[in-house]
Amino acid sequence: MQALSDRELMNRFQEPSQRHAVFLVVVDRYQKRIYWHVRKLVLDHEDANDIVQNVFVKAWKNMEGFRQEAELFTWLYRIASNESFTFLRQKKARTTLSIDEYGDAFIHQLTADPLFTGEQIHAKLMLAVETLPDKQKQVFNLKYFQEMKYEEMSQLLNTSVGALKASYHHAVKKIEAILSDN
């Protein structure tokens, strides 16, 4: 079953006896890409783990009605993005710290995390990324960290290449300004 295309897997998923086996192949195929996308957004492993599990639980519940108008990964990626941004908004709403306090706490928490292997400057970069609007954050992560081509990103985010370039341009200018302030 591992060799089947996404479309073939989705067709097999319609047979109730095959569902679990098909779904395990889907999880195995995309768990890493989904995890790293989520982790780059929420940064903490435990948070990312919870979100990734939620993403696949939602996918399981809705896969029967998945019409394959988008690619399977694109569909999973959008669920993951929505879950991550919802999580981040809720987390931000709970924060009572001022902007300065938040920045210090953010860098301290990230550099103290044993699963973060970067240096102080990387933590500052992640803090700068944290200040971006949702769309710019996604575009920056895909372009800067994953070095994804704009054409591929365009399909994934359902946005024109021109708009993506503009988003990246704005994101980079903001990040550069934040890094130069420090």
Residues that bind another protein (CB under 8 A): 20, 23-24, 27-28, 31-32, 35-36, 39-40, 43, 45, 49, 52-53, 56-57, 60-61, 115-118, 121-122, 125-126, 145, 165, 169, 172-173, 175-176, 179-180
Closest approach, Cβ 125 to another protein, in A, equals 6
Q: Is 70 helix (H, G, I), strand (E, B) or coil?
A: coil
Q: Which residue has the tokens 């399977």?
A: 72
Closest approach, Cβ 179 to another protein, in A, equals 4
- C-alpha 79/C-alpha 58 separation (Å) is 8
Closest approach, Cβ 26 to another protein, in A, equals 10
Measured from the CB atom, the residue of 97 and 174 that comes closer to another protein is 174
* Largest interatomic CA distance in the chain: 59
Closest approach, Cβ 117 to another protein, in A, equals 6
Measured from the CB atom, the residue of 101 and 119 that comes closer to another protein is 119
Query: Nearest-CA neighbor of 129 among 78, 176, 93, 83?
Result: 176
Measured from the CB atom, the residue of 49 and 131 that comes closer to another protein is 49
User: Is the separation of the CB atoms in 38 and 80 below 8 Å?
Assistant: yes
- C-alpha 161/C-alpha 68 separation (Å) is 23
